[in-house]
A and B are shown apart, each in its own frame.
Chain A
Amino acid sequence: MTALRYLLYAVLLVITVLAPFIFPDFRTQLATLWLMIIVALTWDMTGGQMGYNSLGNIFFYGTGMYVAAVIAIGLVYDVGVYTSASGGGINEFTPVQYFAGIGLGMLGAGLFCAACAIVIGYITFGLRGPYFAIGTLGVAIAAGELVSNWDWVGGGQGITLPVYPADLDEGKLFFYYVFAIIGVVLFIFLKWLYSTRFGAAINAIRDDEEKAEAMGIHTMRYKLTAWALAAFFVGLVGAISAFQLISFEPLETAYQTINLGIFMVVCVLLGGKGTLWGPVVGAILFHLFKEITWNYLLGWQWVALGALIVVTVVYFQDGLMGWLMHRKPGWFGIRIDEGSDGARK
């Protein structure tokens, strides 16, 4: 069984490495697929594993974009001058400046977003259930509006970053691999994290927070750490997205609450929350569904998406993995006491 599992992982890794060469026309699509997987996995850290459904994780995506852009520009130019001259000529970056900007920008974005998660979490983790979702959504919407009125970072126009300093196809490959590496690292990190006492503690918070408190678990500490870790990774992909997209603006791209902000939740619900594979499978299914409807049902794509959300939430709450677990608990090592009264509940 273990050997089979490692073989499966090896096959998946080979597919990951080769995918942009097998489908050279879909490199940007594949990079976006990794983005979906990453935001779904990070959303599940709090939404699925800890029971805190955040609708504001997109805040970290947008903030990651802006922090990375400001760092990358700030290394070379004065940020205010650069943004006010947007398109006015001063966007010459040497390759060294460009890649240094990406590297430091990602690091800065990740750390800044983690710090934001601790500050925002300290305030919003007092809210439970739907109130937490609404509270965090409010943070993301407010951040978008604030940034769009902040001229130093380009206001409503957003920021235009330099393009990849070499062949554009090579650039697509580069961005694909950066996303893929973050995704694989995140997956391995989560696989380890969920096997530790930390993983058990956040599961306990999800299942019965009051009981966890009564048992002396440092609930606030775990909640803040989990969200900060999630925010770190979302900040990283926000940063790399900024460079991939080249040009971005606050409301529709960076703090896109109604697009990516909701998509990540749908991915997790579709795949099954609280599982490691659920967000991955859900993100793949969702991305396929989205691209197919956007291509073949244009005009009705939002209707189709809405219908998918309704069907998932009403009939398929546990998602694909949850449904499998329910049907075949043995595959997941879950045993049910068939004989006792609890089993019939």
Chain B
Amino acid sequence: MSTVIEVRNVGKSYGGVVANKDISLDVKSGGITGLIGPNGSGKTTLFNSIVGYHPIDSGSIKFEDREISKMNVQEIARLGLLRTFQQTRIYGAMNCVENMLISLPHRKMSLMDSFNRNTRADYDRADQLLEFVGLYEKRFLRSGSLSFGQQKLLEFAMALMNEPSCLLLDEPTAGINPTLINGLIDRLKRANSEFGITLFIIEHNMRVIMNMADHIYCLAHGEMLAEGAPEQIQNDQRVIDAYLGAH
């Protein structure tokens, strides 16, 4: 498996607070990579660094062999590296279908293309993906009136609409009704296997991440604590200590 995201010795601090220190990791193409760690361990900071949300202090980040640590958010998104937010972000005043249509990939769209209307194929694709996440029945509802879990599913469908090659998910199951979590895991796995999208997931729910990921990185206090297959991580004493606060 080739490497999609290659993070090398990345450091990031906010004033005196070191959020990430000398982080290196690889996200393999076509796989599901997990990123865990206690609260405040620097997971979201690392995500933000990768997608260009803020500049990094040191190190290098490559996406498909291209250095992206100096690019801005839009440029990186147009390369096909997309993220979802911990606090779900959708366009609340629009209905689900409109949310989906706005998420069409803009990487090839010229200014002139933007003066066209959406095609039949675009609507069909929006419907298919809404069906895929189970929101087809609610597609004409104002998205802001959906429940939080449904908004998360919508955000996931919007990300798929954008046809990314790699998707960074920040706590996809946080705040979701436990009965819906199994359905979401299943859909994430299918997005990975059927659409061929590489997933890189931050997750607090151990059952979820151990179930899905084929490789897991664990951060603590801004540093890389451990990495390995789910079984290794589960039995790693350092990881257990970090979570139980023995550090």
Which chain A residues lie closer than 8 Å to B191 at the CB level? none
Let me know if B106 and A217 touch, CB within 8 A. Answer: yes
Let me know if A211 and B91 touch, CB within 8 A. Answer: yes
Q: Count how many pairs of residues, one from A and one from B, have CB atoms less than 8 Å apart in the complex.
A: 110
List, sorted by A's number, 21 A–B pairs whose CB atoms are closer than 8 Å: A195-B117, A197-B109, A198-B115, A200-B102, A204-B102, A207-B94, A208-B90, A208-B91, A211-B85, A213-B73, A214-B51, A215-B102, A215-B106, A216-B82, A217-B102, A218-B74, A225-B111, A335-B141, A335-B142, A342-B150, A343-B145
- Interface size of B by Cβ–Cβ distance < 8 Å? 45
Max chain B C-beta neighbours (<10 A), residue from A200, A210, A215, A335: A215
Q: Mark A209-234, 1 if CB is under 8 A from B, else 0.
A: 01111111111011001000000000
Q: Is B83 an interface residue (CB 8 A)?
A: yes
Q: Is B60 an interface residue (CB 8 A)?
A: no
B92 interface neighbour in A195, A200, A207, Cβ under 8 Å: A207
Let me know if B94 and A203 touch, CB within 8 A. Answer: yes
Q: Is A3 an interface residue (CB 8 A)?
A: no
Q: How far is the CB of B126 from chain A (nearest CB, A)?
A: 12
**A225→B117 CA distance, assembly (Å):** 17
Q: Is A337 an interface residue (CB 8 A)?
A: yes
**A150→B26 CA distance, assembly (Å):** 62
Q: How far is the CB of B203 from chain A (nearest CB, A)?
A: 19
**A345→B92 CA distance, assembly (Å):** 12
Query: With A334-B95, A336-B141 in contact, is A219–B74 under 8 Å at CB?
Result: yes
Given contacts A222-B114, A335-B142, 20 further A-B contacts (CB under 8 A): A195-B117, A197-B116, A203-B93, A207-B91, A207-B92, A208-B89, A211-B89, A212-B102, A213-B72, A215-B106, A215-B158, A216-B77, A225-B111, A329-B142, A337-B138, A337-B145, A342-B145, A342-B147, A342-B150, A345-B144
Q: Which residue of A lies closest to B168 (CB)?
A: A214
Q: Mark B93-107, 1 if CB is under 8 A from A, else 0.
A: 111001001111111
Query: With A216-B82, A217-B74, A335-B95 in contact, is A342–B162 under 8 Å at CB?
Result: no
Q: Please provide the 7 A-B residue pairs with the shortest distance between their CB atoms, ordered closest to farther.
A: A216-B77, A207-B91, A211-B89, A216-B78, A340-B147, A343-B145, A198-B114
Which chain A residues lie closer than 8 Å to B111 at the CB level? 218, 221, 225
Q: How far is the CB of A189 from chain B (nearest CB, A)?
A: 11
Per the 8 Å Cβ criterion, residues 173-210 of A in contact with B are 193, 195-198, 200-201, 203-204, 207-208, 210
Which chain B residues lie closer than 8 Å to A193 at the CB level? 115
Which chain B residues lie closer than 8 Å to A222 at the CB level? 114
Which chain A residues lie closer than 8 Å to B106 at the CB level? 201, 215-218
Q: Is B148 an interface residue (CB 8 A)?
A: yes
Which chain A residues lie closer than 8 Å to B105 at the CB level? 216
Q: How far is the CB of A308 from chain B (nearest CB, A)?
A: 26
Q: Is B234 an interface residue (CB 8 A)?
A: no
Let me know if A215 and B117 touch, CB within 8 A. Answer: no
Per the 8 Å Cβ criterion, residues 46-74 of B in contact with A are 51, 72-74
**A341→B177 CA distance, assembly (Å):** 13
Per the 8 Å Cβ criterion, residues 302-345 of A in contact with B are 329, 334-338, 340-343, 345
Which chain A residues lie closer than 8 Å to B101 at the CB level? 197, 200
Let me know if A341 and B148 touch, CB within 8 A. Answer: yes
Which chain B residues lie closer than 8 Å to A198 at the CB level? 114-115
Query: With A211-B90, A335-B140 in contact, is A341–B147 under 8 Å at CB?
Result: yes
**A249→B116 CA distance, assembly (Å):** 42
Q: Which residue of B lies closest to A333 (CB)?
A: B140
**A212→B90 CA distance, assembly (Å):** 9
